[in-house]
């Protein structure tokens, strides 16, 4: 048995390695963070079923190794079966670190989650804080009380991430008026991208990043400018790809589609996401 485990481990190490692979299990969110990379501030909805996720992972878990697997969204705690995704990921990628990233407000809906995370040898929860206002902090108090109880009862590893401290614009405008940056330097855009190593698992395909993966969802809801057409033409990696195509994709850094994002850091003070800007009425047919 030890020899078999060593052979299997060696085989996994010889596969292409993705430093990070992400699954967005829900498209909607209870917050409205301006310039969200998933476009969740545009009132999208829907979830990925466990059956879909199992099938998508099955396409790739025999072909690629994953160092870090993120479960997020949207807001992942909207998904009624969120805790089950931990075991699902672990079955497909036994050696990966598993992280759930949540804004925390709906964690109380998942009382089985802390025990499931604590029982896993390398799983954690990260709570992302999106504003410093007194109102926001007050709303977080019961969340932090719950997290303290989970730590004490389960010895759970929980990280608090002040996401609003380094919030950048991924695109300009909102809804129909949303526009890419197109600064003319895709390499610079890739180098400053906070998610440049975060491949996306969506619809069974592997995408370069979340803004590309969910851009068609925006196109279906809004009458986007023709400026978006080159980015909507992006083709993700298919499960039927060759080994050469897979390894080339794993090694690829910047490419032309990176030009949709800014070539310089455009930090801005995130408006309080508890007070959402009104998303424009859908215009797409």
Quick one: which of 237, 240, 236, 218 has its CA closest to 227? Answer: 218
> Which pLDDT tens digit goes with each residue over 182-233?
999 999 999 999 999 999 999 999 999 999 999 999 999 999 999 999 999 9
Cα–Cα distances (Å) from 83 to 125, 126, 199, 283, in that order, read 11, 14, 22, 36
Enumerate residues 6+ apart whose C-beta is below 8 A from 120. Answer: 86, 87, 90, 98
Token pair recorded at residue 219: 């196109």
In this prediction the pTM is 0.91
Residue 281: what pLDDT?
Answer: 62
Enumerate the β-bridge partners of residue 26: 47, 73
Enumerate residues 6+ apart whose C-beta is below 8 A from 147. Answer: 104, 107, 127, 158
CB 21 within 8 A of CB 249: no
Residue 275: what pLDDT?
Answer: 76
CB 176 within 8 A of CB 222: yes
> Which H or E run includes 129?
strand 123-129
Token pair recorded at residue 123: 């799983």
CB 42 within 8 A of CB 278: no
Top-level CATH class of 2-260? alpha beta
pLDDT in tens for each of the 285 residues of the chain? 554 454 444 444 589 999 999 999 999 999 999 999 999 999 999 999 999 999 999 999 999 999 999 999 999 999 999 999 999 999 999 999 999 999 999 999 999 999 999 999 999 999 999 999 999 999 999 999 999 999 999 999 999 999 999 899 999 999 999 999 999 999 999 999 999 999 999 999 999 999 999 999 999 999 999 999 999 999 999 999 999 999 999 999 999 999 999 999 999 999 999 976 665 666 554
Domain boundaries defined on the chain: 2-260
Quick one: which of 115, 130, 18 has its CA closest to 63? Answer: 18
Enumerate residues 6+ apart whose C-beta is below 8 A from 74. Answer: 24, 25, 26, 27, 28, 29, 38, 40, 44
Residues in the chain: 285
CB 54 within 8 A of CB 24: no
Enumerate residues 6+ apart whose C-beta is below 8 A from 40. Answer: 27, 28, 29, 31, 32, 33, 73, 74, 75
Residue 227: what pLDDT?
Answer: 98
């Amino acid at each position: 048995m030890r020899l078999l485990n060593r052979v299997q481990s060696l085989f996994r190490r010889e596969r292409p390695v993705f430093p990070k692979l992400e699954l967005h299990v829900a498209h909607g969110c209870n917050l409205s963070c301006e310039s969200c990379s998933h476009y969740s501030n545009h009132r999208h909805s829907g979830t990925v079923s466990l059956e879909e996720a199992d099938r998508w992972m099955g396409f790739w878990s025999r072909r690629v190794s994953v160092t870090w697997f993120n479960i997020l969204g949207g807001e992942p705690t909207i998904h009624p079966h969120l805790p089950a995704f931990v075991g699902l990921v672990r079955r497909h990628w036994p050696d990966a670190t598993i992280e759930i990233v949540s804004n925390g407000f709906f964690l109380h809906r998942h009382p089985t989650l802390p025990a499931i995370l604590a029982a896993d040898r390398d799983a954690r929860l990260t709570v992302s804080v999106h504003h410093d206002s007194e109102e926001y902090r007050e709303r977080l108090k019961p969340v932090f009380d719950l997290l303290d109880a989970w730590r004490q009862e389960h010895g759970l590893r929980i990280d608090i991430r002040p996401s609003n401290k380094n919030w950048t614009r991924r695109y300009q405008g909102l809804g129909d008026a949303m526009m890419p940056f197109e600064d003319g330097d895709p390499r610079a855009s890739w180098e400053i991208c906070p998610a440049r190593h975060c491949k996306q698992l969506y619809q069974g395909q592997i995408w370069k990043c979340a803004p590309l993966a969910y851009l068609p969802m925006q196109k279906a809801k809004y009458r986007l400018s023709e400026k978006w057409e080159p980015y909507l033409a992006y083709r993700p990696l298919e499960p039927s790809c060759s080994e050469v195509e897979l390894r080339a994709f794993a090694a690829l850094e910047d490419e032309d589609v990176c030009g949709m994002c800014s070539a310089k850091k455009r930090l801005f003070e995130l408006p309080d996401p508890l007070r959402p800007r009104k998303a424009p009425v859908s215009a797409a047919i």
